[in-house]
């Protein structure tokens, strides 16, 4: 089946710095990707929809200037957490639907810890 | 805002017991998926149901989609310790395949 690769799997950064997370579709093209956030022992919360060649669509309550999304190609979307703070520490997961939009493939997730 | 409520939130059972997890919403979904997630990993798809009233079986797991496509259930027969994990339902609507996840059910199967 299709594979979505997320990198890095873990990152620790200092408060105030920015962190970039990559999400790649390895064997298929994804015009749309989704970014989720998951706090410990909780479910996934949709943050934004990443659209290739256009601006991302953010869910209510998600700061677009805080979480910058770039979908510059059909196989890569990036999420940059800017000026990270400890409260941004979380598990971030991306997903991409297949061409027929019948299944979503998830990345392995990125554990972000801001110290 | 579409919401998916899952119940129970946490379930601890003995190996061999049966269990049912429920996923309910006031919204209609074009399809509904069930995922299982291990700590530190992304969710893994178990099944997709698209037709109201549909029942799908995957070995010891039985999935049902409500007639009105607003709710679903996951039934596990003779649970095993390997079934331990976080079970998530997720609904999709429209053509974008944007998934709205349920609140999750954490299952612990004790040997």
pLDDT tens-place string over residues B31-70? 899 999 998 899 999 999 989 999 999 999 999 999 999 9
Question: Using the beta-carbon criterion (under 8 Å), do B97 and A32 form an inter-chain contact?
Answer: yes
pLDDT value at position B110? 97
Q: How many CB atoms lie within 10 A of CB B104?
A: 24
Confidence label for A1 from pLDDT (cuts 50, 70 and 90): low
Q: Which range has highest mean pLDDT (A74-88, A97-111, B1-15, B89-103)?
A: A74-88
The nearest CA of chain A is from the CA of B64 a distance in Å of 18
Question: Using the beta-carbon criterion (under 8 Å), do A102 and B48 form an inter-chain contact?
Answer: yes
Decide if pLDDT at B1 tops 80. Answer: no
pLDDT value at position B30? 85
pLDDT value at position B39? 87
The nearest CA of chain A is from the CA of B51 a distance in Å of 13
Query: Cα–Cα–Cα angle for B43, A20, A70, nearest 5°?
Result: 85
Q: Round to whole Å and give the CA distance between B15 and B83.
A: 10
Q: Compute the mean pLDDT over every residue in chain B, rounded to the nearest whole number.
A: 92
Question: Using the beta-carbon criterion (under 8 Å), do A32 and B95 form an inter-chain contact?
Answer: no
Q: Which of A62, A47, A109, A112 shows the shortest CA–CA distance to A84?
A: A112
CB-based contact (8 Å) between B110 and chain A?
A: no
Q: Compute the mean pLDDT over every residue in chain A, rounded to the nearest whole number.
A: 92
DSSP string, B11-59: EEEETT--EEEEEE-SS--SEEEEEEE-TTS--EEEEEE-STT-EEEET
Confidence label for B96 from pLDDT (cuts 50, 70 and 90): low
Question: Using the beta-carbon criterion (under 8 Å), do A46 and B104 form an inter-chain contact?
Answer: no
The nearest CA of chain B is from the CA of A15 a distance in Å of 22
Question: Using the beta-carbon criterion (under 8 Å), do A46 and B99 form an inter-chain contact?
Answer: yes
Is B110 in contact with A52 (CB distance < 8 Å)?
A: no
What is the arrangement of strands in the sheet containing B55-58, beginning at the earlier edge strand?
Answer: B5-7, B19-24, B71-76, B61-65, B55-58
Mean pLDDT of A1-30: 92
Which residues of A fall within a CB distance of 8 Å from B42? 6, 93, 95, 106-109
pLDDT value at position B3? 81
A and B: number of Cβ contacts within 8 A: 57
- The pLDDT tens digits for A43-95 are 999 999 999 888 999 999 999 999 999 998 999 999 999 999 999 999 999 99
DSSP-assigned beta bridge partners for residue B63: B56, B74
Question: Using the beta-carbon criterion (under 8 Å), do B33 and A34 form an inter-chain contact?
Answer: no
Q: Round to whole Å and give the CA distance between A28 and A3.
A: 8
Mean pLDDT of A6-14: 96
């Amino acid at each position: 089946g299709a594979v979505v690769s997320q990198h890095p799997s873990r990152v620790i950064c200092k408060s105030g710095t920015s962190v970039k997370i990559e999400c790649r579709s390895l064997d298929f093209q994804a015009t749309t990707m989704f970014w989720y956030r998951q706090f410990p022992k909780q479910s996934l919360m949709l943050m934004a929809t990443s659209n290739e060649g256009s601006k991302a669509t953010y869910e209510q309550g998600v700061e677009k200037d805080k979480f910058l999304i770039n979908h510059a190609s059909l196989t890569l979307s990036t999420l940059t957490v800017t000026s990270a703070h400890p409260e941004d520490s979380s598990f971030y997961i991306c997903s991409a639907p297949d061409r027929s939009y019948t299944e979503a493939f998830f990345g392995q997730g990125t554990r972000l810890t801001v110290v | 805002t579409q919401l998916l409520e899952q119940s129970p939130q946490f379930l601890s059972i003995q190996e061999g017991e049966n269990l049912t997890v429920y996923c309910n919403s006031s919204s209609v979904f074009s399809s509904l998926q069930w995922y299982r997630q291990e700590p530190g990993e992304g969710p893994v798809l178990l099944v997709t149901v698209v037709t109201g009233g549909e029942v799908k079986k995957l070995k010891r797991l039985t999935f049902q989609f409500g007639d009105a496509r607003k709710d679903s259930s996951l039934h596990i027969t003779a649970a095993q310790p390997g079934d331990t994990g976080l079970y998530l339902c997720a609904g999709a609507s429209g053509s974008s395949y944007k998934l709205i996840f349920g609140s999750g059910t954490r299952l612990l199967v004790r040997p």
